[in-house]
Amino acid sequence: MSREPATTREPLPVPVPEVTSETAEFWAATAEETLLLPRCEHCDTVIWYPRAFCPACASFDVTWFPASGRGTVYSFTIVRRPAPPYDRSGPFVVAYVELEEGPRVLTNVVECEPDEVEMGMPVEVVFHDTGEGRALYRFRPAGR
């Protein structure tokens, strides 16, 4: 089976995420290439997915802070037979990245060959502009 080199694949699509009142601040920050995370001021839990209350203690005393943008690959899979609109981009990596701040986020690992991705690999956030005033957060190998 022949495999096309990475240079002939199209970039991953950048779909526009749905914005809600609970996620508006998060998505607005992505347009500025900032990864914001919510933190409970009552119990100090860093919250993922963004929401108005703490899932650990039910407090509504939640504030936002800029995350480091660094983490490690916790788990991943390589999608080798993607469905549209991703079919021209495959194969690609879908991963859980464990952020330095604690939460694990579902994302893509980009800017490397899928077969180079390993669990525990250090990664850093990159932002892919949707053209709609927000960007998708994805991760690349650290130091690239």
Closest CA to 42 of 54, 25, 26: 54
Q: Kindly give the parts of the chain with pLDDT less than 70.
A: 1-8
pTM equals: 0.89
Distance CA 54, CA 105 (A): 17
Give the per-residue pLDDT at 4: 45
Are 68 and 81 spatial neighbours (Cβ–Cβ below 8 Å)? Answer: no
